[in-house]
Amino acid sequence: MNDQSPSLTSDINFPPGFDSLPRKEREKVHRRNIQAILPRQGTEGAERYKKRYPEAAQVRYQLGNPRAYLPKPAGYTAAIASMVEHWFNSRTACAETNTADVKRLNAKLESSFVPTNHFNTSLSPARKERLAKVFADNGSHYDRTRLNTLSQVREAVKAAHREADPDTKPFGNIGRRKGNKLLLAGQEYTITKHGSHECIRPRINGAKRRLHLDDLLWMAGLLQADDTPGEHSPTLRSNYIARAHSGNDAPPQGSSLTGPGPSADDAEESLIGPGPFDPLSSVSPDDIAALKAAATDA
């Protein structure tokens, strides 16, 4: 098919034999053509294209970061929720490849998702909510900020299976350990040595940090022992900062060990994890620097 419109012809392309392709394949071609039109001609060009080719009516688009896409088929959300439920119920199913599951999804929905990369596409907020319910029903937490694709969801389910493995051992009250692997909040970290200490290296605020396992256990123990949830614990704050300043003769002048300091809303909260209260909410700038130095690689 050849289009002679001067306003569209430079941005569209129809492969040989287009008219004989199945409808779903023709819709994919229309999607690609509208994708090519959007950056230079915007919604006006996309609407002109759809008016000229009514078969492209199903193609949707967005501006900003221009993207044309075909809506998911009816029953898609229920199908992926059922699939994730099956992953929880069967380790064999969870161990399947993404490609194999996409092929099964296509057969079930009569869709044509690309098997090699469909599980790397972003999940909508509504679908995340549906999957969060599946996780909750299976005793797991769905991290909406981290689990953005079905590929990441599968890895989280695998981590849940590993945490339930009888061969794993408790790691304080915050995770499980098996050999040189540490499972925390559904994520697996490799344990390495740093001098005489075992450590993990999570990425915190965009940078890799070295965290000693004994420090993690020490902090978890303090949080567990604190008996005033919802309130700032002076004992916890003092012990934490004293640990961070270990090696110094004394905390810096103006430390919250000797009196209240300014607010520290920008403290590295990820060093202690989310909780019902923030033990670092009134530390001094010098304290924060010491805490960062304790967690950052030399």
DSSP assignment string, 175-201: EEEETTEEEETTEEEE-EEETTEEEE-
pLDDT at 249 (0 to 100):
40
Q: 290 forms bridges with which residues in the sheet?
A: none
Least confident of 87-101, 107-121, 139-153, 241-255: 241-255
Looking at the chain, list the stretches that DSSP marks H as alpha helix, in order from N- to C-terminal side.
23-52, 76-89, 91-94, 98-109, 125-137, 150-163, 213-225, 234-244, 285-295
Chain center to CA of 73:
25
Q: Is the pLDDT of residue 223 over 80?
A: no
Angle of CA points 184, 146, 272, to nearest 5°: 45
Answer whether 205's CB lies under 8 Å from 270's CB.
yes
Tens-digit pLDDT profile for residues 26-81: 888 998 899 899 988 888 999 999 999 999 988 888 888 888 888 888 999 999 99
User: What are the residue boundaries of the structural domains of the chain, listed by start?
Assistant: 9-69, 76-163, 169-210, 226-295
Q: 123 forms bridges with which residues in the sheet?
A: none
Tens-digit pLDDT profile for residues 160-214: 888 777 777 888 878 888 888 888 876 788 999 999 999 999 888 888 999 999 9
The reported pTM is 0.53
Q: Is the pLDDT of residue 158 over 60?
A: yes
